[in-house]
Chains A and B, each alone.
Chain A
Amino acid sequence: EDKVVQSPLSLVVHEGDTVTLNCSYEVTNFRSLLWYKQEKKAPTFLFMLTSSGIEKKSGRLSSILDKKELFSILNITATQTGDSAVYLCAGNSGGSNYKLTFGKGTLLTVNP
């Protein structure tokens, strides 16, 4: 059974702090790992990672994948209150279905 584990489950920081969110995975026929941000209802896409060691970056957010150790991290630098959200990690298994297995998420709270 595919499994994705995120840590920590929740985190409280102050504006300006840097945070690192962790995601480990065990996914059959692994294709990709995805990060989403969920503020209110709909998760919105952040990154998709397929290759080890290549950092994806978007503004203050960055992510990297380690396919040997089966984990990924999401970094947020100079956090802002608008970064407060649940961050979801998901592993994509190959095959005829394009199924994502999600972790339980990390609830990030950024206080002013």
Chain B
Amino acid sequence: DVKVTQSSRYLVKRTGEKVFLECVQDMDHENMFWYRQDPGLGLRLIYFSYDVKMKEKGDIPEGYSVSREKKERFSLILESASTNQTSMYLCASSFGSPRGKLFFGSGTQLSVL
């Protein structure tokens, strides 16, 4: 089975802190994604990567950056966390197919106080 692992299930940070969310997949997938999920807003794409060291902005990249130094790992970075970044963060990966079937991690519930 494909496994997408997110390093933390729950995280509490203070405003202004630098926050790292880590995601690892074990199926040699080319594509990796970071979404955030908020009540009433659904899943929104923050960033994605289709190859090592490659990244593209999604729909809501402001306040975030990403890093993909190895194929299996995709990190989301909040340079200076703010309260409006309190959310559920979901990482996903997929094969290099245009059809888009994503495999999701279990999510990280981030609270910024």
A residues near B (Cβ < 8 Å) are 31-32, 34, 36, 40-45, 48, 50, 88, 90, 92, 94, 96-105
Instruction: Tell me whether B84 is interfacial, beta carbon within 8 Å.
Output: no
Q: 24 A-B contacts, Cβ less than 8 Å apart?
A: A31-B98, A31-B100, A32-B99, A40-B106, A41-B9, A41-B106, A42-B90, A42-B104, A43-B43, A43-B102, A45-B101, A45-B103, A48-B100, A48-B101, A50-B99, A88-B42, A90-B100, A97-B56, A98-B97, A100-B45, A100-B100, A102-B35, A103-B42, A104-B41
The one of A42, A90, A98 in contact with B105, judged by C-beta atoms closer than 8 angstroms, is A42
Q: B12-63: which have CB < 8 Å to A?
A: 31, 35, 40-45, 48, 50, 56, 58
- Within the complex, what minimum Cβ distance (angstroms) separates A22 from chain B? 15
The one of B44, B58, B98, B107 in contact with A41, judged by C-beta atoms closer than 8 angstroms, is B107
The answer to whether A98 touches B104, judged by C-beta atoms less than 8 angstroms apart, is: no
Q: How many residues of B contact A (CB 8 A)?
A: 29
The answer to whether B50 touches A96, judged by C-beta atoms less than 8 angstroms apart, is: yes
- Within the complex, what minimum Cβ distance (angstroms) separates B2 from chain A? 10
B residues near A (Cβ < 8 Å) are 4, 9, 31, 35, 40-45, 48, 50, 56, 58, 88, 90, 94, 96-107
The one of A48, A90, A98 in contact with B50, judged by C-beta atoms closer than 8 angstroms, is A98
Q: Find the A residue at minimum CB distance from B43.
A: A102
